[in-house]
């Protein structure tokens, strides 16, 4: 394990997201408006590609069992619930667990939410039709164990959709390594893993240093080799991550670039 021990990295996960709920917007009055604001910000500003790509509202989700691994404040799982899926979730951070429960309650939706570790899923073998995880497993030191657990609890023929930070992206090499690491000299003061940790809101790369790993198709394929079939996609590119030309690029060219150099690599695997 790089730098910190696996156990320490797990402690940093809790420190990070207990202090900074993922996608938090505005002042903290945790009411329905707050959760609707988080949702609006997520799909209309942060990840404008997400709703059409993941097709949460698809009729195919009606009546199926969906497990989300690392649900954060529950925003994506709510979308599956709205489409009529029977939702289950697990997350490692107590604050997220409480916020997601409240999010579902305020919307009058149901989900079976658990506080726990993706490396030890508290579910029977072959339980779920679909397992979804967005921006989670690159933070855990035992990703292989987590993916094996996902495989175990997924039904034969079921789908696992996982989104991880993409190594071969402009955000990784230009924004983090070049701008933050080299131009701002953070590689000298924080080291590579420290620089990467600072991309999470509130993390200083020292006292709060969540594990941030990056993957590409080559490094992911062996982890997903048990599945019968996996398709890979890449998404998420913002103009500010494109050196010099970012502000003048057309939207259609940006779309093309994001499919190669975007910040998330998404695998869709079938068991
Ligand atoms: C960046 S947040 C993403 C949350 C949510 N998926 C979203 O996109 O808003 C990462 C989440 O992964 C959770 N997490 C990290 N490691 C985990 C593990 N081993 N088991 C379960 N959840 C984990 C954290 O608690 C946190 O909620």
- Tell me, what CATH number does 16's domain have? 3.40.50.150
Query: Has residue 41 got a pLDDT over 60?
Result: yes
Q: Are 139 and 99 in contact (CB under 8 A)?
A: no
For residue range 64-100, list pLDDT tens digits in order. Answer: 999 999 999 999 999 999 999 999 999 999 999 999 9
Per the structure, the count of domains in the chain is: 1
- DSSP letter at 174? I
Instruction: Tell me the H-state helices in the chain.
Output: 6-19, 32-41, 50-54, 75-82, 94-107, 143-153, 170, 186-197, 217-220, 251-261
For residue range 139-173, list pLDDT tens digits in order. Answer: 999 999 999 999 999 999 999 999 999 999 999 99
Is residue 135 a part of any domain in this protein? yes
Q: Whole domain around residue 151: which residue ranges?
A: 6-168+213-270
Is residue 207 a part of any domain in this protein? no
Is residue 199 a part of any domain in this protein? no
Is residue 150 a part of any domain in this protein? yes
Q: Report the sign of the C-alpha dihedral through residues 253, 249, 243, 193, in that order.
A: negative
Residues with CB under 6 A from ligand 1: 13, 17, 22-23, 70-72, 75, 90-93, 96, 117-119, 134-136, 139-140
Average pLDDT, the chain: 93
pLDDT at 196: 97
Q: Which residue has the tokens 């893993």?
A: 193
Is residue 176 a part of any domain in this protein? no
3 sits in the region (left: phi over 0; alpha: psi -120 to 50; else beta) called left
Mutate to test the pocket of ligand 1, among 9, 11, 49, 72 (most ligand atoms within 8 A of CB): 72
Q: How far apart are CA 207 and CA 191, in angstroms?
A: 14
């Amino acid at each position: 394990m790089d730098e910190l021990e696996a156990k320490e990295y797990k402690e940093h996960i809790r420190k990070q997201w207990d202090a900074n709920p993922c996608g938090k917007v505005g002042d903290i009055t945790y009411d329905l408006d707050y959760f609707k604001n988080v949702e609006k910000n997520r799909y209309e500003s942060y990840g404008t590609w997400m709703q059409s790509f993941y097709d949460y509202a698809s009729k195919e989700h009606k009546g199926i069992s969906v497990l989300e691994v690392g649900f954060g404040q529950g925003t994506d799982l709510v979308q599956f619930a709205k489409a009529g899926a029977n939702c289950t979730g697990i997350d490692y951070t107590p604050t997220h667990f409480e916020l997601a429960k409240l999010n579902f309650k305020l919307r009058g939706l149901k989900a079976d939410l658990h506080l726990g570790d993706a490396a030890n899923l508290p579910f029977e073998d072959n339980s779920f039709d679909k397992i979804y995880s967005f921006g989670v497993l690159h933070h855990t030191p035992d990703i292989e164990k987590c993916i094996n657990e996902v495989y175990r609890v997924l039904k034969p023929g079921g789908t696992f959709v996982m989104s991880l930070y993409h190594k071969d992206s402009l955000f990784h090499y230009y924004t983090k390594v070049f701008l933050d690491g080299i131009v701002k000299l953070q590689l000298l003061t924080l080291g590579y893993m420290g620089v990467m940790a600072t991309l999470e809101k509130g993390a200083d790369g020292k006292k709060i240093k969540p594990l941030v790993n990056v993957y590409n198709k080559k490094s992911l394929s062996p982890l997903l080799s048990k599945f019968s079939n996996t398709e890979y996609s890449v998404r998420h590119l913002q103009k500010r991550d494109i050196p010099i030309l970012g502000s003048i690029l057309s939207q259609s060219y940006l779309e093309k670039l994001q499919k190669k150099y975007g910040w998330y690599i998404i695998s869709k695997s079938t068991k």
